[in-house]
Chains A and B, each alone.
Chain A
Amino acid sequence: MNGQFLDFEKPILELEKKIKDMKDFAAGEKMEISSEIRAWEKKLEKLQKDVYSKLTAWQKVQLARHPLRPQTSDYISLLFSDFIELHGDRNFGDDKALIGGWGKLEGKHFMLIGQQKGKDTKQKLFHNFGMMHPEGYRKALRLMQQASRFRKPILILIDTPGAFPGIGAEERGQAQAIAYNLREMSNLKVPLIIVVIGEGASGGALGIGVGDKILMLENSWYSVISPEGCAAILWRDSSKAPLAAEALKLTAQDLLELKVIDKIIKEPLGGAHRNPGEQALILKKEILKVLEELQGLTPQELIERRIQKFRGMGIHYQIEEKE
């Protein structure tokens, strides 16, 4: 695995290697040790279940950032046929941190929009690590409005460490671009399905995150600020990120409890990167199920329900006024 593993994955990968070595050895020596191998495999399964059922928030953040975790481009090639990528915001440029275009999922037409982080250094630089500029948010909205005109559902995949904090981004109105999307996405006349597939950092994620159904992969995170950013501000020390991750309640399980998301999508044991193909199939099933629920609604119903959905978020109390 090219040394690309997380600390808590290490015992699992070591055991896996041991089993593989035993199998190779048995095959080479023509020895019959299958019962022994089976025992080790049982042990592996137990270890995996043990490790992955007790992940801390920070470990989940690490899984969400795993270098081999499937990204938007992987889901496009694994799930969509006849994909045609569309570029640019018709105004300033084409933001490579966001991929958008038409595609077919089981023959059904979709406008697909997703953030792309890139995997190797060259790709990461090309995609700006999945950090969008204002033109990215404007490109996304342009494509969504196109889908709305032609009455096609929109699938949005969120995977970003945040909107890009830079001079150009501020000059071109990062805040305005995100704000405008939040308002205009509420007006779209077609089903909008949002899936957080990896990282969902702050306004950079929400800027393409207003939808009818919000789903999250089991080991993804979504938060008002990244754990590092939060730690730097509140603890004045970004190395306190694990602590901040715990405090922010940013896992899929937390967000379901806070009634921000509608559903958690299961990942293969060990995380999406252990079996991207299986993950894609699980995702497809969920998308089609959600689409079926939404397709019976009129455009007006969709818009009203979408506004009401976000209207209901937040927790506040009324106190007795003592003058």
Chain B
Amino acid sequence: MEWFKKIKEGVSAQPKKEIPEGLWTKCEDCGEIIYVKELERNFWVCGKCKYHFRIKSTDYINLLLDEGVLEEFDRTLISGDPLKFKDSKRYPDRIKESRKKTQRNDALIAGIGKIEGRKVSLGVMDFAFIGGSMGSVVGEKVARAIERSVEKKMPLVIVSCSGGARMQEGILSLMQMAKTSSLLARQHKMGLPFISILTNPTTAGVMASYASLGDVIIAEPKALLGFAGPRVIQQTIGQELPKDFQSSEFFLEHGFVDLIVERSQLKKTVSLLLEYLSCCQ
């Protein structure tokens, strides 16, 4: 039975070769097994199918800003619980959990940074915080980012990633759409550029307000974009949805985004656009 023993030994030896956690990962789209370091180098884009993994707001800051440096504003804004809202959890508990999980106080980071030497007022949403939903705090921080753009006469860049308005703050969340969009009227009139970057997903209340109001609208490939959720649409019309429905490519085809840009080209493209959208040669 020597041969059996040997094999047994061989088998039991297997788990000792521990793969460090997170060294390899699987593409969420095509299933390709990818080396994480390689993925990081590639801005979290699958080398095989170009699937863009969802990344954190801080990753976009590193990606877009010179030296990854953001002078952050309004970091300490935090939402209240105006509705005393409770579903399976109390809203304040939900907020507390998200703050702990993300180390952020709400779903948007805002501030001033440089893109290839040009100062911009930047806002980046983070899906990890209650689905990137927009309540009073996100609305207020977007509003202030727009105002900074106006006061300091600098371009506005917003990276959106959101399921829409935050239900737990009810009508106040809805009103953030009007609040941000009407301030953009002022920004727009002053001739200041606004570049809106849509990432996966950008839908509902955010899509139906500032995210759709850029002078130039850029989408990452294969992001889910739209107003109504695909499930709601399917239930309403009772038929299968077309392939690629509500994707970046669908939005490009129907004329609602200017261009689709891969993450590796994002900074370069934004920078070039800002050059074109300034009044001096």
Contact between A318 and B76, CB atoms less than 8 A apart: yes
Interface locus among A68-76, A172-180, A264-272, A275-283: A172-180
**Would you give the shortest CB distance from B157 to chain A, in whole angstroms?**
17
Known: A170-B233, A316-B137. A321 touches B171 (CB 8 A): no
Question: Which residue of B77, B86, B226 is within 8 Å of A247 (Cβ)?
Answer: B86
Q: Do A203 and B212 form a contact, CB below 8 Å, given A167-B245, A317-B77?
A: no
Q: Is B100 an interface residue (CB 8 A)?
A: no
Interface size class, chain A: 35 or more
Segment at the A interface, from B4-12, B27-35, B62-70, B177-185: B177-185
In the complex, are the beta carbons of A163 and B228 less than 8 A apart? yes
A166 at the interface (CB under 8 A from B): yes
CB distance from A319 to the nearest CB of B (A): 5
Q: For B207, list chain A residues within 8 Å (CB).
A: 175, 179
Residue of A whose beta carbon sits closest to that of B217: A176
- Name which residue of chain A comes closest to B254, CB basis: A171
Contacts A167-B242, A167-B245 given: A223-B186 contact, CB under 8 Å? no
Cβ-defined contact, A166 with B237, below 8 A: yes
Q: B256 to nearest A CB, angstroms? A: 5
CB interface residues, B 218-261, toward A, < 8 Å: 226-229, 232-233, 236-237, 241-242, 245-246, 250, 254-256
Chain B residues within 8 Å of chain A by Cβ, number: 67
A170 and B77 contact, CB distance less than 8 A = no
Question: Chain A: which residue is nearest B143 at the CB level?
Answer: A311
Is residue B191 within 8 Å, beta carbon to beta carbon, of the partner chain? no
Q: How far is the CB of A179 from chain B (nearest CB, A)?
A: 4
User: C-beta contact mask, B124-147 vs A, less than 8 Å → 1, else 0?
Assistant: 000000000001110110010000
Give B residues with C-beta under 8 Å from A. 75-80, 82-83, 85-88, 105, 135-137, 139-140, 143, 165-167, 169-179, 181-186, 188-189, 203-205, 207-213, 226-229, 232-233, 236-237, 241-242, 245-246, 250, 254-256
Q: List 6 A-B contacts (CB under 8 A).
A: A167-B241, A179-B211, A183-B188, A313-B178, A314-B169, A317-B79
Known contacts A179-B181, A183-B188, A224-B169; 9 further A-B pairs (Cβ under 8 A): A165-B233, A182-B177, A184-B185, A206-B174, A223-B170, A248-B83, A314-B136, A316-B78, A319-B105
